[in-house]
Amino acid sequence: MRVQIKKGQAVISGDLYDRPVSGKKPDPAEGIPIFPLDDYRFYIRTNETPPATIESELKFELFLWEFKRTSPNPSDFKWVKTGPYTARLSLDRPPQGEDFPAAPEAPLYLSGSVTDANKQPTGKLTMGWVEEHLRRARLKIARVILTEGGGTQKSEVPWNNGLNDTLATWQTVFNEVGWNIKLPAPGEITEFRQEGVGEEWDAGELHKKLLDLRSENETKTDWCYHLLCVPKIVGNYGLMFDDVNTDFQFNELPREAAAVSSHIEYPDTPKWGTARGKRCGEALIPYFRTALHEIGHAMGLLHDHQNNARRIMTETTVLDEDSAAEPGKTVPERILFSFTEADAKRLRHMPDIWVRPGGMPFDEASFPYSDAPISAGDGLVEADALRLEVFPLLKEVPFGAPVRINYRLANTSCAKINLPGDLSLKSGCVRGKVTGPDQVERGFRSIFKCMDPLDSHGAPGGCLAPGKSALDSMTLLRGRGGALFPSQGDYVVAIEVSWRDREGKRTGCVGKTSVKITPASRADTARKLCADPRTLIAVAIRGDHFKDSIKPGLDDPELRPHYVLTEAKRLARRFFGRAAELEQACELLLDNPVMSSAEIDWIAKAIEDSDTNARQNPIVLELCRRLKEKLRSVSDDVDDAVRERVLKLPG
């Protein structure tokens, strides 16, 4: 039970776990107990705040919300509400042998009956004061040792904000919301070398390292969050990984780990003040805020979309853009090291299963705050001036192959419209559902949660001029509930592109298209690809540790064209000690693979970013020539910016 004293009232919430009758009882002297995740059963919600002083009795009404998993998939659950019940507790003596600490002068122990709506006894409730905090957790930190120019550097650990006058630390920040956060001592920081990664870490490499750092069953038995400090994360100041995939037998990291970039530089502009042009690790104020922000996501908090937001869950790009937030002050001066009142309430009183690592998956789209028995949510406000066109790259796709969908956001008004800088699936602005011949709706969204991007003005997106449009594409295979296209037949794909405006309202538009899944020549191979959760990771993240998952698709003549691009993307990017193999990647792509506009853009960027010798390789030049020929023969399914990039390639 959690009891918060606020303005003379007691705000009460709690969680119940199964515990064997013959098992060891929690020891009050050890502080807040931590029970196994799999034993979670009920959330206790009270509908009233009784007086904080106890005279004759403490009386309050409560509801029990039973948490029921409906499958091993952590996304499949439901809350079952029962009640109301009435608890009447009075001061009592603790049972013999149970030594409760003083609170703060003498032990405080309450016991009494619980009755149902008909005033019939249903049980007994006892509470004993344990400590002043409402929750406890620990943070594990690991950092990279980087050898550069003959010297050795280490990614800085964001211990605090570096301000002696107004020092903010992990414990001072979380004390305000009733959390006892235990940090490792400086000598307990895990350190490891880059191992050929270079300065930039992509999602696949981070995911593999985070899996290496986690001890077996840690998530299920402890409240432990991981923070990984690396030199650079591709395109991000920091990110928190969600469950990446939903099948527990493969990945058990829902909301457990986050990463921050220490060597990316902040913008070299006056509004960045003391952080101007500095590496993140050298600018402690925004660097520490990013670490808090990403761990906040790991605790189940979504972005703060309030106008002029300045607190921990605000995105860095919003702090950069929002001149109305403390006008005249620089970005570091605007930052407040505290949570909003609403987020503070969530950290104090949300169900354990929502905030503890390994509990409910993190997803603003699928699991808004309104899904928890504590607060209300909001709906989508459709933008009249925007039109979303959705169409498949191929109208027919064989069973077992990923389905590529194009979508174009068009400005139909006479004025420019400001959009998020990134409208790709990974941005979190795009989600959707697939409805098959069985009429079952299967949802999908990005597997990346949650990123703190460097720039919000990249194309497509940003400022959309009148009459102009932004094209992007996605590759779909699996969602939270498994395969999105689990059998042959006709499917409808619905997409929503949405974002928060300055008032915090979710704005956007929706569109849909259809695609036909045809029978596979080798049905067993197709079913294996759809059933393997690693296939999604290979398609979305890449990484050598996932390469075997798509091998059945590469070995199948019918499915191979649909998976070649995934294998080429893996080869074209270095992975730990393996160097990028651009020639081999381009050779694969000479075999006429299925490629969306976004995928063509990716391989064009890989060629563009390679060294001169690699770009002049005959195989690379031949691919460049074929890409140019391809773009000259197509129009609607390739973005103008992609076309321009490809036409500038050598060859």
Nearest of 243, 347, 359, 368 to residue 305 by alpha carbon: 368
For the chain, the residue count is 651
pLDDT at position 97 is 80
Q: What is the mean pLDDT of the chain?
A: 84
Question: 367 or 608: which carries more pLDDT confidence?
Answer: 608
pLDDT surpasses 50 at 244: no
Rounded Cα distance, 462 and 314, in Å: 19
Question: What does the pLDDT look like over 555-614, one tens digit per residue?
Answer: 999 999 999 999 998 888 887 778 889 999 999 999 889 998 888 988 999 999 888 888
For range 530-542, the mean pLDDT: 74
Nearest of 523, 494, 496, 525 to residue 508 by alpha carbon: 496
Two tokens, residue 225: 């969050």
Rounded Cα distance, 504 and 214, in Å: 36
Nearest of 166, 165, 147, 163 to residue 155 by alpha carbon: 147
Would you place residue 25 in the very low, low, confident or very high pLDDT band (cuts 50, 70, 90)?
confident
For range 160-187, the mean pLDDT: 94
Q: What is the largest CA-CA distance in the chain?
A: 88
Would you place residue 480 in the very low, low, confident or very high pLDDT band (cuts 50, 70, 90)?
low
Tally of CB atoms within 10 A around 249: 8
For range 471-483, the mean pLDDT: 85
pLDDT surpasses 80 at 126: yes
pLDDT surpasses 60 at 376: no
Tally of CB atoms within 10 A around 399: 24
The pLDDT > 70 percentage for the chain reads 85
pLDDT at position 597 is 87
For range 271-299, the mean pLDDT: 95
CB contact set of 394 (below 8 Å; sequence gap of 6+): 403, 404, 515, 594
pLDDT at position 138 is 94
Which range among 8-12, 73-77, 200-204 shows the weakest confidence by mean pLDDT? 73-77
Query: In this structure, are strands 469-476 and 403-411 parallel, antiparallel, or unpaired?
Result: antiparallel
pLDDT at position 143 is 95
pLDDT surpasses 70 at 250: no
Alpha helices in 453-532 (DSSP H): 523-531
pLDDT surpasses 70 at 379: no
Two tokens, residue 310: 């300045």
Rounded Cα distance, 257 and 241, in Å: 6
Rounded Cα distance, 59 and 10, in Å: 11
pTM of the model: 0.73
The pLDDT > 90 percentage for the chain reads 42
pLDDT at position 459 is 35
pLDDT at position 198 is 61
pLDDT at position 214 is 80
Check if the beta carbon of residue 326 is closer than 8 Å to that of residue 334: yes
In degrees and rounded to multiples of 5, residue 250 shows phi and psi of -105, -50
pLDDT at position 555 is 94
DSSP string across 564-594: HHHHHHHHHS-BTTBPP-HHHHHHHHTT---
What H or E segment, with its residue span, contains residue 630?
A: helix 618-633
pLDDT surpasses 90 at 184: yes
Two tokens, residue 102: 């003083």
pLDDT at position 178 is 95
pLDDT at position 554 is 92
Would you place residue 370 in the very low, low, confident or very high pLDDT band (cuts 50, 70, 90)?
very low
Most confident range (mean pLDDT) of 304-308, 319-323, 325-329, 402-406 is: 402-406
Alpha helices in 203-315 (DSSP H): 203-213, 218-221, 284-298
pLDDT at position 377 is 33
Would you place residue 512 in the very low, low, confident or very high pLDDT band (cuts 50, 70, 90)?
very high
